[in-house]
A and B are shown apart, each in its own frame.
Chain A
């Protein structure tokens, strides 16, 4: 072990307390996620082709949670995130802006018009020539079509809206495109995923590819899949958008996070989403 590596290891261990090795992947390997006793979600499946060199199977973050947390997501009333989906639905029907329109004026019932959206974003927008997140598309609609003020990229209003949109795709497999016009962004996201950063010198992969299933202090490390976002986190009892989670992770390794809504984080979101191609859309999920 070179001196440099040993310093890295010590830093990483100081951060983690210790990573306990040899833990089972999940407390109950056979736990199945069924919502309201009727909608069965895929929480483990074969890794997509582009990941085959690194992982055999991919797992939703749900499988790493304790039984009580898991149970909270299995009923739409017990899931506290769903009240924010209700608030998102209220916002969907609210007329705003100079054009005197609501989301519903053009898109009618989101159960029809938004079905499948969460599963395929971030997605290339041909007219704009850019990769767009659901948040980006919401703000495009608000500013260009409604003549309304954009939501702050990470905010309660935005989280409510993207949660409501995510619910319309619940149970559908994540299926983001990774080639064609998004190829360059996907490669950029992959580069970010594997680049060590911060005082602790950790990459996304250090925890979520090389140590998933192990404990970081008392936390069970997941694969860092984002199929459950937005996620209602018990720690602060609110919905978290995916790029806010990225931001928190990089801050925790004492790095300098990209801006939420930046092209870099959007590229990373595409890449991380593609690592979960095949898992069910779960938003709004419940996590610790």
Chain B
């Protein structure tokens, strides 16, 4: 039997899906559930918060990410494609300068990273960035 590249890829994807299914069902809280818990189900507007992450991450284990929102009291960062999506929630105190923060996160693969900001007036805002995670050639 000879397979061309496309067919080989399709087989690989099928196998990956079968393996991935049980993990999906076992996941604790999804990103959407975490957002609902953070907002209490309130409406979330687009904009009013920024998220900065590389378009292509050389290694998913250490990916820089920065969030900022002038009027936010808290900003939650979620890696929507991780088995446990929580990255961090930044709560800004009275002593904070600009309401911005950076950290480094782990991404299980190419996915959207989402920031949800809780504003001083109780409203919520959302921004997202897609990060492509490359797969290295050498485990070394």
- Which A residues lie at the B interface, using CB under 8 A? 15-17, 65-69, 72, 80, 215-219, 221, 233-237, 245, 248-249, 251-252, 288
Contact = CB atoms under 8 A, between A and B. Distances in A.
Nearest to B140: A248
Interface stretch (B29-37, B54-62, B89-97, B115-123): B54-62
Given A66-B54, A218-B134, A237 B61 contact: yes
Contacts of A234: 58-59, 61-62
Contacts of B137: 15-17, 215-219, 221
Interface residues on B, range: 10 to 19
B88 interface: no
B14 interface: no
B21 interface: no
A235 B58 CA distance: 9
A218 B135 contact: yes
* Majority DSSP secondary structure for residues of B touching A: loop
Contact of B138 (A65, A72, A248): A248
Interface of B: 54, 56-59, 61-62, 64, 134-140
A288 B135 contact: no
Contact of A248 (B56, B57, B59, B139): B139
A12 to B, nearest CB: 11
B54 A218 contact: no
B68 to A, nearest CB: 18
Contacts of B62: 80, 234, 237
A67 B55 CA distance: 11
| Residue of B56, B57, B137 contacting most chain A CB atoms (<10 Å) | B137
A65 B58 contact: yes
A65 B136 CA distance: 12
A258 to B, nearest CB: 16
A217 B139 contact: no
Contacts of B136: 217-219, 235, 288
